Amino acid sequence: MDKMISFAILGVALVMLVSLWIFGERGKLLRPSTWEGLRTGGLRNLLNLKSLHMYVYGRWSNQYIDVLINTIYPRLGERGKKWWRDRYHAKILTHEEAKAIIKINQDIPLQDLEQIIPYPMARNLMLSGPVDVAAYECPCRHARDTSCRPTQVCMIVGQPFVDFILEHNPQSSRRLTQSEALDLLQAEYERGHLHSAWFKDALFDRFYSICNCCKCCCGGLEAMMKYSNPVIASSGYIAQVDETLCSACNTCAEMCPFDAVSMEMVSSISWEKCMGCGICVGQCPSGAIDLVRDEQKGIPFDVRMLV
Protein backbone atom coordinates (compact mmCIF):
# COMPACT_ATOMS: atom_id res chain seq x y z
CA MET A 1 0.00 0.00 0.00
CA ASP A 2 2.79 2.40 0.98
CA LYS A 3 4.59 1.67 -2.31
CA MET A 4 1.45 2.43 -4.30
CA ILE A 5 1.08 5.76 -2.50
CA SER A 6 4.74 6.57 -3.13
CA PHE A 7 4.43 5.76 -6.84
CA ALA A 8 1.25 7.85 -7.06
CA ILE A 9 2.97 10.84 -5.45
CA LEU A 10 5.98 10.41 -7.74
CA GLY A 11 3.67 10.19 -10.76
CA VAL A 12 1.81 13.35 -9.80
CA ALA A 13 5.08 15.19 -9.22
CA LEU A 14 6.39 14.06 -12.60
CA VAL A 15 3.22 15.18 -14.37
CA MET A 16 3.43 18.56 -12.63
CA LEU A 17 7.08 19.01 -13.66
CA VAL A 18 6.36 18.07 -17.27
CA SER A 19 3.34 20.39 -17.32
CA LEU A 20 5.43 23.25 -15.91
CA TRP A 21 8.13 22.62 -18.50
CA ILE A 22 5.64 22.63 -21.39
CA PHE A 23 4.09 25.80 -19.97
CA GLY A 24 7.56 27.38 -19.91
CA GLU A 25 8.11 26.25 -23.49
CA ARG A 26 4.78 27.74 -24.50
CA GLY A 27 3.16 24.47 -25.51
CA LYS A 28 6.25 22.86 -27.07
CA LEU A 29 8.45 20.10 -25.74
CA LEU A 30 11.68 21.93 -26.59
CA ARG A 31 11.98 25.17 -28.51
CA PRO A 32 15.06 25.69 -30.72
CA SER A 33 16.38 28.57 -28.60
CA THR A 34 16.11 26.44 -25.44
CA TRP A 35 18.14 23.69 -27.06
CA GLU A 36 20.71 26.22 -28.25
CA GLY A 37 20.97 27.68 -24.75
CA LEU A 38 21.46 24.25 -23.20
CA ARG A 39 24.00 23.33 -25.86
CA THR A 40 25.93 26.58 -25.40
CA GLY A 41 25.96 26.19 -21.63
CA GLY A 42 27.24 22.64 -21.86
CA LEU A 43 27.05 19.75 -19.43
CA ARG A 44 28.77 21.60 -16.56
CA ASN A 45 26.16 24.37 -16.47
CA LEU A 46 23.43 21.75 -16.69
CA LEU A 47 24.79 19.86 -13.69
CA ASN A 48 25.45 22.91 -11.53
CA LEU A 49 21.95 24.24 -12.33
CA LYS A 50 23.17 27.44 -13.97
CA SER A 51 21.26 26.48 -17.11
CA LEU A 52 18.10 26.21 -15.01
CA HIS A 53 18.92 29.59 -13.49
CA MET A 54 19.35 31.02 -17.00
CA TYR A 55 16.01 29.55 -18.07
CA VAL A 56 14.08 30.99 -15.12
CA TYR A 57 15.77 34.38 -15.47
CA GLY A 58 15.03 34.63 -19.18
CA ARG A 59 11.58 33.05 -19.18
CA TRP A 60 10.16 34.85 -16.14
CA SER A 61 12.27 38.02 -16.01
CA ASN A 62 9.60 40.23 -14.44
CA GLN A 63 8.96 37.83 -11.58
CA TYR A 64 12.70 37.20 -11.06
CA ILE A 65 13.56 40.90 -10.82
CA ASP A 66 10.51 41.69 -8.71
CA VAL A 67 11.59 39.14 -6.09
CA LEU A 68 15.21 40.30 -6.27
CA ILE A 69 14.38 44.00 -5.85
CA ASN A 70 11.54 43.81 -3.38
CA THR A 71 12.32 40.70 -1.33
CA ILE A 72 15.97 39.62 -1.57
CA TYR A 73 17.97 42.85 -1.74
CA PRO A 74 16.43 44.54 1.31
CA ARG A 75 17.47 41.52 3.40
CA LEU A 76 21.04 41.02 2.18
CA GLY A 77 24.01 41.38 4.51
CA GLU A 78 27.48 42.31 3.32
CA ARG A 79 28.39 38.74 2.32
CA GLY A 80 25.15 38.42 0.40
CA LYS A 81 25.72 41.71 -1.40
CA LYS A 82 29.18 40.64 -2.49
CA TRP A 83 27.87 37.27 -3.67
CA TRP A 84 25.27 38.94 -5.87
CA ARG A 85 27.49 41.64 -7.36
CA ASP A 86 30.23 39.12 -8.18
CA ARG A 87 27.74 37.21 -10.32
CA TYR A 88 25.43 39.93 -11.62
CA HIS A 89 26.79 43.37 -12.42
CA ALA A 90 27.11 46.14 -14.97
CA LYS A 91 29.50 48.56 -16.62
CA ILE A 92 28.34 52.06 -17.48
CA LEU A 93 28.54 52.88 -21.19
CA THR A 94 28.86 56.33 -22.63
CA HIS A 95 26.35 57.09 -25.37
CA GLU A 96 29.01 56.60 -28.05
CA GLU A 97 30.12 53.27 -26.59
CA ALA A 98 26.55 51.97 -26.53
CA LYS A 99 26.09 52.95 -30.17
CA ALA A 100 29.40 51.30 -31.07
CA ILE A 101 28.15 47.92 -29.78
CA ILE A 102 25.06 48.16 -31.97
CA LYS A 103 27.07 49.22 -35.02
CA ILE A 104 29.76 46.54 -34.72
CA ASN A 105 30.14 44.76 -38.05
CA GLN A 106 32.72 42.09 -37.26
CA ASP A 107 33.08 39.28 -34.77
CA ILE A 108 34.51 39.85 -31.32
CA PRO A 109 35.74 36.52 -29.91
CA LEU A 110 35.14 35.29 -26.38
CA GLN A 111 37.58 37.08 -24.12
CA ASP A 112 38.14 37.98 -20.48
CA LEU A 113 37.38 41.61 -19.64
CA GLU A 114 39.16 41.55 -16.31
CA GLN A 115 40.59 45.06 -16.66
CA ILE A 116 37.28 46.51 -17.85
CA ILE A 117 34.87 44.72 -15.51
CA PRO A 118 36.36 44.71 -11.98
CA TYR A 119 34.49 41.65 -10.74
CA PRO A 120 35.73 38.06 -10.41
CA MET A 121 32.85 36.51 -12.38
CA ALA A 122 30.54 37.20 -15.32
CA ARG A 123 32.77 39.44 -17.40
CA ASN A 124 33.14 37.73 -20.78
CA LEU A 125 32.20 38.99 -24.22
CA MET A 126 31.41 37.23 -27.47
CA LEU A 127 29.57 39.03 -30.25
CA SER A 128 29.03 38.17 -33.89
CA GLY A 129 28.76 41.23 -36.10
CA PRO A 130 26.41 42.58 -37.11
CA VAL A 131 24.84 41.94 -33.73
CA ASP A 132 21.34 40.63 -33.10
CA VAL A 133 19.30 42.93 -30.85
CA ALA A 134 15.85 42.62 -29.31
CA ALA A 135 13.89 45.23 -27.34
CA TYR A 136 12.45 43.76 -24.14
CA GLU A 137 10.11 45.01 -21.46
CA CYS A 138 12.17 46.39 -18.57
CA PRO A 139 11.65 44.09 -15.54
CA CYS A 140 12.79 46.82 -13.14
CA ARG A 141 10.10 49.21 -14.34
CA HIS A 142 7.51 46.44 -14.11
CA ALA A 143 8.52 45.81 -10.48
CA ARG A 144 7.43 49.32 -9.46
CA ASP A 145 3.94 50.49 -8.53
CA THR A 146 4.48 53.48 -10.81
CA SER A 147 7.24 53.49 -13.41
CA CYS A 148 8.83 55.53 -16.17
CA ARG A 149 7.56 55.20 -19.71
CA PRO A 150 8.10 53.67 -22.15
CA THR A 151 8.84 50.26 -20.63
CA GLN A 152 10.16 48.32 -23.64
CA VAL A 153 13.66 49.76 -23.37
CA CYS A 154 15.92 46.88 -22.32
CA MET A 155 18.08 45.69 -25.21
CA ILE A 156 19.03 42.01 -25.34
CA VAL A 157 22.23 41.66 -27.34
CA GLY A 158 23.73 38.62 -29.06
CA GLN A 159 22.88 34.94 -29.37
CA PRO A 160 21.46 32.71 -28.00
CA PHE A 161 19.88 35.32 -25.75
CA VAL A 162 17.96 37.22 -28.43
CA ASP A 163 16.25 34.16 -29.90
CA PHE A 164 15.41 32.85 -26.42
CA ILE A 165 13.67 36.09 -25.43
CA LEU A 166 11.81 36.35 -28.73
CA GLU A 167 10.60 32.74 -28.61
CA HIS A 168 9.66 32.64 -24.93
CA ASN A 169 8.32 36.17 -24.46
CA PRO A 170 6.90 37.19 -27.86
CA GLN A 171 4.31 39.57 -26.37
CA SER A 172 6.93 41.62 -24.54
CA SER A 173 9.83 41.60 -27.01
CA ARG A 174 10.59 42.45 -30.62
CA ARG A 175 13.59 42.15 -32.88
CA LEU A 176 15.27 45.45 -33.74
CA THR A 177 17.05 46.52 -36.88
CA GLN A 178 20.30 48.37 -36.36
CA SER A 179 18.55 51.65 -37.13
CA GLU A 180 15.75 50.91 -34.65
CA ALA A 181 18.26 49.99 -31.94
CA LEU A 182 20.19 53.23 -32.45
CA ASP A 183 16.94 55.20 -32.36
CA LEU A 184 16.00 53.54 -29.05
CA LEU A 185 19.39 54.43 -27.55
CA GLN A 186 19.06 58.02 -28.73
CA ALA A 187 15.54 58.39 -27.35
CA GLU A 188 16.57 57.05 -23.94
CA TYR A 189 19.66 59.26 -23.89
CA GLU A 190 17.49 62.29 -24.58
CA ARG A 191 15.18 61.27 -21.71
CA GLY A 192 18.16 61.38 -19.36
CA HIS A 193 18.55 57.64 -18.88
CA LEU A 194 21.98 56.03 -18.62
CA HIS A 195 23.24 53.12 -20.72
CA SER A 196 24.75 50.14 -18.91
CA ALA A 197 26.12 46.81 -20.13
CA TRP A 198 25.01 43.89 -17.95
CA PHE A 199 26.85 40.63 -17.25
CA LYS A 200 25.53 37.55 -15.43
CA ASP A 201 27.19 34.29 -14.45
CA ALA A 202 24.11 32.20 -15.28
CA LEU A 203 24.25 33.58 -18.83
CA PHE A 204 27.58 31.89 -19.58
CA ASP A 205 29.52 34.57 -17.65
CA ARG A 206 28.83 36.90 -20.58
CA PHE A 207 27.60 40.32 -21.60
CA TYR A 208 24.01 39.98 -22.72
CA SER A 209 22.15 43.28 -22.36
CA ILE A 210 22.25 47.05 -22.68
CA CYS A 211 19.87 48.51 -20.12
CA ASN A 212 18.65 52.08 -20.39
CA CYS A 213 18.31 52.91 -16.73
CA CYS A 214 16.28 55.57 -14.94
CA LYS A 215 17.23 56.42 -11.37
CA CYS A 216 13.69 55.95 -10.05
CA CYS A 217 13.16 52.36 -11.31
CA CYS A 218 16.51 50.65 -11.94
CA GLY A 219 17.28 47.85 -9.50
CA GLY A 220 21.01 48.15 -10.10
CA LEU A 221 21.01 51.86 -9.26
CA GLU A 222 18.86 51.16 -6.21
CA ALA A 223 21.34 48.50 -5.06
CA MET A 224 24.13 51.09 -5.24
CA MET A 225 22.39 54.18 -3.90
CA LYS A 226 19.98 52.70 -1.34
CA TYR A 227 21.77 49.50 -0.25
CA SER A 228 25.40 50.58 -0.80
CA ASN A 229 26.23 47.65 -3.08
CA PRO A 230 28.54 48.75 -5.95
CA VAL A 231 27.12 46.48 -8.65
CA ILE A 232 27.78 49.04 -11.41
CA ALA A 233 31.31 49.97 -12.50
CA SER A 234 32.29 53.43 -13.68
CA SER A 235 32.54 54.11 -17.40
CA GLY A 236 36.15 55.24 -17.01
CA TYR A 237 35.17 58.87 -17.59
CA ILE A 238 34.28 61.77 -15.34
CA ALA A 239 32.12 64.83 -15.99
CA GLN A 240 33.87 68.19 -16.24
CA VAL A 241 32.11 71.57 -16.07
CA ASP A 242 33.10 74.64 -18.07
CA GLU A 243 32.24 77.30 -15.50
CA THR A 244 32.18 80.05 -18.12
CA LEU A 245 29.24 78.33 -19.87
CA CYS A 246 27.34 77.07 -16.81
CA SER A 247 24.04 78.93 -16.25
CA ALA A 248 23.41 77.36 -12.81
CA CYS A 249 20.07 75.99 -14.01
CA ASN A 250 20.43 72.94 -11.70
CA THR A 251 19.31 70.49 -14.44
CA CYS A 252 22.43 68.36 -14.06
CA ALA A 253 22.00 68.06 -10.30
CA GLU A 254 18.35 67.03 -10.68
CA MET A 255 19.13 64.41 -13.34
CA CYS A 256 22.30 62.83 -11.89
CA PRO A 257 21.48 59.30 -10.67
CA PHE A 258 24.56 59.20 -8.40
CA ASP A 259 24.05 62.50 -6.55
CA ALA A 260 27.42 63.59 -7.90
CA VAL A 261 26.46 67.20 -8.73
CA SER A 262 26.10 70.09 -6.30
CA MET A 263 25.13 73.64 -7.13
CA GLU A 264 26.40 76.89 -5.70
CA MET A 265 27.24 79.65 -8.16
CA VAL A 266 27.95 76.98 -10.80
CA SER A 267 27.74 73.18 -11.02
CA SER A 268 30.37 71.22 -9.12
CA ILE A 269 31.13 67.53 -9.77
CA SER A 270 32.12 65.15 -6.98
CA TRP A 271 35.00 63.01 -8.24
CA GLU A 272 34.21 60.24 -5.77
CA LYS A 273 30.55 59.99 -6.76
CA CYS A 274 30.69 60.62 -10.52
CA MET A 275 30.40 57.39 -12.55
CA GLY A 276 30.84 58.98 -15.96
CA CYS A 277 27.41 58.08 -17.31
CA GLY A 278 27.09 61.28 -19.34
CA ILE A 279 23.48 62.07 -18.43
CA CYS A 280 24.51 65.57 -17.40
CA VAL A 281 26.25 66.09 -20.74
CA GLY A 282 23.11 65.24 -22.69
CA GLN A 283 20.78 67.23 -20.44
CA CYS A 284 22.80 70.44 -19.98
CA PRO A 285 21.02 73.18 -21.97
CA SER A 286 24.18 75.32 -22.03
CA GLY A 287 26.55 72.65 -23.31
CA ALA A 288 28.75 73.33 -20.30
CA ILE A 289 29.62 69.74 -19.42
CA ASP A 290 31.86 67.18 -21.14
CA LEU A 291 33.12 63.71 -20.29
CA VAL A 292 36.88 63.32 -19.94
CA ARG A 293 38.91 60.15 -19.51
CA ASP A 294 40.20 59.43 -16.05
CA GLU A 295 42.46 56.38 -15.67
CA GLN A 296 41.69 56.19 -11.98
CA LYS A 297 38.07 55.49 -12.86
CA GLY A 298 38.88 52.34 -14.82
CA ILE A 299 39.11 51.30 -18.46
CA PRO A 300 36.13 52.04 -20.74
CA PHE A 301 34.11 49.20 -22.24
CA ASP A 302 34.65 50.27 -25.84
CA VAL A 303 34.22 47.48 -28.39
CA ARG A 304 36.06 49.59 -30.95
CA MET A 305 39.19 49.13 -28.86
CA LEU A 306 38.56 45.39 -28.47
CA VAL A 307 38.31 44.93 -32.23
211-226 pLDDT, tens digit each: 999 998 999 999 999 9
Instruction: Classify residue 178: in a domain, yes or no.
Output: yes
Instruction: Classify residue 188: in a domain, yes or no.
Output: yes
On whether both 86 and 10 belong to a single domain, the answer is no
pLDDT above 70 coverage of the chain, percent: 95
Task: Identify whether the C-beta of residue 142 lies closer than 8 Å to the C-beta of residue 86.
Answer: no
What pLDDT digit, counting tens, does each position of 223-271 carry? 999 999 999 999 999 999 999 999 999 999 999 999 999 988 899 999 9
On whether both 106 and 189 belong to a single domain, the answer is yes
Number of compact structural domains in the chain? 3
Q: Which domain holds residue 8?
A: 1-30
Cis, peptide link before residue 150, omega less than 30° from 0: yes
Neighbours of 150 (CB within 10 A): 15
Of 233, 251, 284, the position where a domain reaches its end is 233
Cα–Cα distances in Å, from 88 out to 26, 208, 232, 276? 27, 11, 9, 20
State the pLDDT confidence band at 12, using cuts at 50, 70 and 90: low
3-state secondary structure of 177: coil
On whether both 62 and 175 belong to a single domain, the answer is yes
On whether both 24 and 76 belong to a single domain, the answer is no
114 pLDDT more than 70: yes
53 pLDDT more than 90: yes
Q: Which helix (H) or strand (E) holds 40?
A: helix 32-47
Instruction: Classify residue 306: in a domain, yes or no.
Output: no
Cα–Cα distances in Å, from 203 out to 23, 98, 166, 209, 282? 22, 20, 16, 11, 32
